[in-house]
Amino acid sequence: MAWASDAHAQTTPRTTIPLLDNWRTVADDKNQQAFAGFEQPNFKDQSWQTVAVPHNWDAYEGYRRQRHGNRHGYAWYRKTFATPASQKDARYFLFLKAWVPMPRCG
């Protein structure tokens, strides 16, 4: 049996915006509130490290790594990107893959 419907027909090609590069990130080993409000658009993150994702914070070296192994603590990631001008009835999807909880996305 075939179903025909124009209700959700795609009239323009889908646009994909790659989001792997130019993320801003910072970590703190103990203070979960060190960067409270980081999800706000005007939050100042200029001093944060710029990375590509996937990324992890285990790339620190020296005595600390020998003694403690992988890094434990908290990390914050931010990404700003532009979307095409919105169109009437347009739908936008944001797909994120992460193995850690992401409580704030703004």
The domains of the chain are located at 24-32+47-78
Q: pLDDT value at position 64?
A: 56
Encode 57-93: b = buried (16+ Cβ within 10 Å), e = exposed. beeeeeeeeeeeeeeeebebbbeeeeeeeeeeeeeee
Residue 79 has pLDDT above 80, yes or no: yes
Strands 23-28 and 74-78: antiparallel
Distance, CA of 13 to CA of 84 (rounded, Å): 13
Q: What is the pLDDT of residues 3-44, one digit of tens each?
A: 555 555 556 677 788 889 999 999 888 899 999 999 999 999
DSSP of 76-90: EEE-----PPP-TT-
Q: pLDDT value at position 88?
A: 81
Q: Kindly report whether the peptide bond that precedes residue 54 is cis, defined as omega within 30 degrees of 0.
A: yes
Looking at per-residue confidence, does 62 or 89 come out higher? 89
Ranking 9-18, 46-55, 69-78 by mean pLDDT, the lowest is: 9-18
- Tell me if 73 sits within 8 A of 29, measured CB to CB: yes
